[in-house]
């Protein structure tokens, strides 16, 4: 038999065990609630970051579900002014909103394949891998000019000399016949740029089809990211040499002959001038009628008139001076050109 005090102590002890267990349960519950609260906080944070990401980059996402149709063109900075002019006129005729962005020829197919854009603009050939998923269209032709500072007396360079200059073998203007012994400052486009790719193929002997690497361009050069930057650098460096699309020429730089032939469209068409390339648009295979409608507009007589106005050659040869004058003096198209 337990005494009254012993019974009392036993009850208290049992209650203490119960209270201890309740306290432990409460602490466990508290930990669970805190963990759940932390998880909810983390989820909210992740959701906020995700929404901020979408908000930040939504400008680059084509509004496929928007009420009005929209096209996005991404790619070559060489074609950028032409694309803006074509987009402006197409927008006026159809009401379709068109966003035009640069980024370089390599950016175009990446944007299309990742559904950021519908049309890729390129001043270089598309690779075999890119062409497997894209329909490619030649929209214009372009002449590449070798340019120097206006004060430079050099008027001609051979293709072999140009190759040696870009490779870093010829380093002084005196070796090219100049009356001064000054180092040649090469202005070069960045890797992946369409104009640089054309120079690598046409001058340095690179060929993806033949898997030929060609002669590498020297690393001792000023690297630019666009044709506008290239022109500005050549204009500012007295002993510079660079290369530009024919449409970018003005009195801030001077184009020189290559192998004794000046860079003209007539010489390029006849095959006398070798620095000649195609310009491209590409859309994803199986694209909608809207993308095809835009391509057809670019290749139409009106679209090709704009090609000539922007300083490029049309896909079809212009056979008379009268036809060229008609295009260049077209008041209707001139007044419709808007600089974005």
Q: 71-125: per-residue pLDDT in tens?
A: 999 999 889 999 999 999 999 999 999 999 988 888 999 999 999 999 999 988 8
pLDDT at 271: 81
| 279 — pLDDT class (breaks 50, 70, 90) | very high
DSSP SS3 for 32: helix
The answer to whether residue 234 scores a pLDDT higher than 80 is yes
The CATH class of the 143-277 domain is alpha beta
Ranges of each domain in the chain: 4-60, 70-141+278-336, 143-277
CATH architecture of residue range(s) 70-141+278-336: 3-Layer(aba) Sandwich (3.40)
Same fold, 70-141+278-336 and 143-277: yes
pLDDT at 152: 96
Nearest to 258 by CA among 155, 179, 105, 170: 155
Question: What DSSP line would sit under 57-117, residue for residue?
Answer: HGGGS--TTSSS-EEEEEE-SSSHHHHHHHHHHHHHHH--EEEEEEE-TTHHHHHHHTTS-
For the segment 266-294, the average pLDDT, to the nearest whole number, is 90
Q: Which of 21-30, 95-104, 129-138 has the lowest mean pLDDT?
A: 21-30
pLDDT at 11: 43
Backbone angles phi, psi at 102, to 5 degrees: -85, -130
Nearest to 162 by CA among 76, 233, 263: 263
Give one word for 286, left, alpha or beta, with left for phi > 0 and alpha for psi -120 to 50.
Answer: left
Give one word for 157, left, alpha or beta, with left for phi > 0 and alpha for psi -120 to 50.
Answer: beta
Write out pLDDT tens, residues 187-196: 999 887 888 9
Count other Cβ atoms within 10 Å, centred on residue 34.
10
Nearest to 139 by CA among 299, 292, 297, 285: 299
Distance, CA of 120 to CA of 181 (rounded, Å): 44
The answer to whether residue 203 scores a pLDDT higher than 50 is yes
Q: Which of 30-44, 95-109, 118-132, 152-166 has the lowest mean pLDDT?
A: 30-44
Which residue would you say has higher pLDDT here, 129 or 12?
129
């Amino acid at each position: 038999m337990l005494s009254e005090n012993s019974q009392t102590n036993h009850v208290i002890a049992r209650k203490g065990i119960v209270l201890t267990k309740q306290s432990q349960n409460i602490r466990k519950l508290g930990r669970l609630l805190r963990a759940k609260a932390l998880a909810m906080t983390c989820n909210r944070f992740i959701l906020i970051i995700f929404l901020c990401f979408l908000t930040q980059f939504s400008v680059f996402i084509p509004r496929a579900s928007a009420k009005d149709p929209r096209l996005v063109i991404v790619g070559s900075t060489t074609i950028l002014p032409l694309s803006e002019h074509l987009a402006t006129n197409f927008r006026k005729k159809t009401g379709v909103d068109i966003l035009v962005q640069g980024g370089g020829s390599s950016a175009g197919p990446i944007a299309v394949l990742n559904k950021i854009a519908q049309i890729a603009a390129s001043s270089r050939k598309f690779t075999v891998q890119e062409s497997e998923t894209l329909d490619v269209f030649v929209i214009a032709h372009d002449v590449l000019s070798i340019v120097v500072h206006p004060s430079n007396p050099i008027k001609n360079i051979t293709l072999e000399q140009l190759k040696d200059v870009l490779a870093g073998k010829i380093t002084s203007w005196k070796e090219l016949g100049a009356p001064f012994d000054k180092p040649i400052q090469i202005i070069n486009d960045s890797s992946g740029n369409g104009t640089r790719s054309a120079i690598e193929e046409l001058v340095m002997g690179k060929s993806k089809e033949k898997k030929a690497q060609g002669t590498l361009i020297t690393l001792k050069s000023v690297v630019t990211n666009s044709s506008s930057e290239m022109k500005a650098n050549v204009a500012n460096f007295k002993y510079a040499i660079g290369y530009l699309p024919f449409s970018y020429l003005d009195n801030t730089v001077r184009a020189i002959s290559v192998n004794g032939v000046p860079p003209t469209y007539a010489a390029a068409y006849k095959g006398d001038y070798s620095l000649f390339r195609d310009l491209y648009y590409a859309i994803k295979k199986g694209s909608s009628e809207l993308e095809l409608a835009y391509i057809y507009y670019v290749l139409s007589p009106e679209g090709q008139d704009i090609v000539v106005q922007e300083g490029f050659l049309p896909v079809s040869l212009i056979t008379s001076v009268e036809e060229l004058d008609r295009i260049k003096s077209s008041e209707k198209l001139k007044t419709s050109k808007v600089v974005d």
